[in-house]
Structure 1
């Protein structure tokens, strides 16, 4: 293969028939050398070929999706270290605040290279349980208690050691067409026949928020037009409402500020928290990350973005 050819993490995942989180874990453990181009991680073709050669003797990834994991755990390379001696940490979630956090970590943690994985809250917790990520974000509402995140974290991370720290609050609710021609005011309006919904993917915090509200109101998802049509981010949902392809969608206020032709109906203050995995390898940076989150420099950057409530930022909510 030409050394000039390189692949994105998505392309590597498709080629090896493994999840993108497994690709990030390969990079984190130093088995798959990677480098950053802007916000994107890339892997040279020669390094991919070398990894595949090292993996010979293990079942092909196409036959066993986790065969690649068995290959790199048997390697003699130091765990979690890239070839140049830096250590990669995987941060999951989609909010821009996480990109700002990653930038501050690069500045304040020599030898640490943050990698971003853009997945939803449930997939983030699953990835941490599997040991595939180090910092995960979550905004999952438990409808029975009205509590955010901790009920889910305790269930998913059984047997793990971790710290839960509050990052920010943001308004969540419904996107409606400009001027709200359908007169939508709350969750109960979703039972109206004929309303077309723009939905989020399963496992996202917005999808859990919607499904919990529907459950509490006794509304079945398959009774709502568009319930099975999914978007992978808030902008996609707001965009469908703005274009007239849907009448209502669930999401956060910030996306409505970005997409024209959409009004926003705030219905809840959503808690956006971080879970930091406690391991021997992570002990050296957890204190620094907490210091960054509580710092004026970091919070001032967040204040420049509309829609964030930082009144409790940096508060440790739970630790094992």
Structure 2
């Protein structure tokens, strides 16, 4: 392989036939050397080949090499001493957080995994991520996140801190030709829905509202049609491929020919595991969240409520 070739984390996952979270875990542990280009992490082809050969056992003369016999570049990753920190979630505020962490916290390298809220919590339970974002509504209590966190992170010690709040609701075509105003309008059999993927906060929000209003998902045309982000959902509505979709206000301000019907204020929180490996940088993350420089950067983005940003919501 040419040393000039490099791969994104998505390409690595396809080549190795594993999930992206597995790739992030390899980067986090330093087993697969990587570097940042803009917002993306990349892996050189030579480093990928070295990892593959090491994983195979690296045979020579039909004998398995011991760790002491391995070439130095295989036995000692070049990023030794730098702690990768995997941050999951899809909001741009997480990219801004990662940038501030990289600038202000020495000895860490933030890695971004674009994963939905439920899958993020599961990845933390598995030890594959360090900071996860979540916006999951419990329809019975009206509370965000805590009931899900408690159920998934059983017996774990963690900190829940607010990142921001934002309005969520329904995307409709410009001018709202179907006169959609509330969740109750989802009863209409003529409406075509575009959904989010399972595990996303928007999907949970929709499913909880359907449950609370006694609406069967089987009666929604397009319920099985999924997009993996808010922009994708808004784009389908804008193009006329769907009449309605669930998402956040910010995407509607980016996509043309879409109107937004705000229906709920959702709390977007971060979860940080409390263990000996993480405590050394967690105070620095809290300082960043509470800093004027971080908040000023978020305030430039429409649709964010920062009144609780940096506030500890719950701590075990």
TM category, shorter: over 0.9
1:283 equivalent to 2:279? Answer: yes
| 17-26 vs 81-90, which moves further | 81-90
Structure having the higher Rg: 2
TM superposition shift of 1:241:
0.7
Alignment counterpart, residue 192 of structure 1, candidates 169, 188, 193? 188
Partner residue in 2 for 1:169: 165
Match of 2:167, SS state, is strand
* Whole-angstrom CA distance in 2 between matches of 1:161 and 1:48: 35
Alignment counterpart, residue 249 of structure 2, candidates 253, 257, 263? 253
Contact 1:92 1:135 in 2 (8 A): yes
* Whole-angstrom CA distance in 2 between matches of 1:47 and 1:279: 30
Partner residue in 1 for 2:156: 160
Alignment counterpart, residue 237 of structure 2, candidates 237, 241, 248? 241
Partner residue in 1 for 2:222: 226
TM superposition shift of 1:83:
2.4
1:314 equivalent to 2:307? Answer: no
Alignment counterpart, residue 210 of structure 1, candidates 174, 194, 206? 206
1:17 equivalent to 2:17? Answer: yes
Gaps spanning 5+ residues in structure 1: where? 59-75
- Show the 5 A alignment for 1:38-77: 38-56=38-56
Contact 2:164 2:269 in 1 (8 A): yes
* Whole-angstrom CA distance in 2 between matches of 1:211 and 1:260: 27
Q: Cα deviations across residues 137-192 of structure 1 (Å, max 9, x unaligned)?
A: 00000111111000000011112221100111100000111111101110010010
* Whole-angstrom CA distance in 2 between matches of 1:34 and 1:160: 29
Gaps spanning 5+ residues in structure 2: where? 59-73
TM superposition shift of 1:85:
2.2
Contact 2:30 2:80 in 1 (8 A): no
TM superposition shift of 1:82:
5.9
- Show the 5 A alignment for 1:28-107: 28-56=28-56, 83-107=79-103
Matched pairs, number: 301
Partner residue in 2 for 1:71: none
Match of 1:302, SS state, is helix
Partner residue in 1 for 2:119: 123
Match of 2:112, SS state, is strand
1:27 equivalent to 2:23? Answer: no
Partner residue in 2 for 1:63: none
Alignment counterpart, residue 136 of structure 2, candidates 133, 140, 152? 140
Q: Cα deviations across residues 250-284 of structure 1 (Å, max 9, x unaligned)?
A: 00001111111111110000000000112211111
* Whole-angstrom CA distance in 2 between matches of 1:145 and 1:109: 37
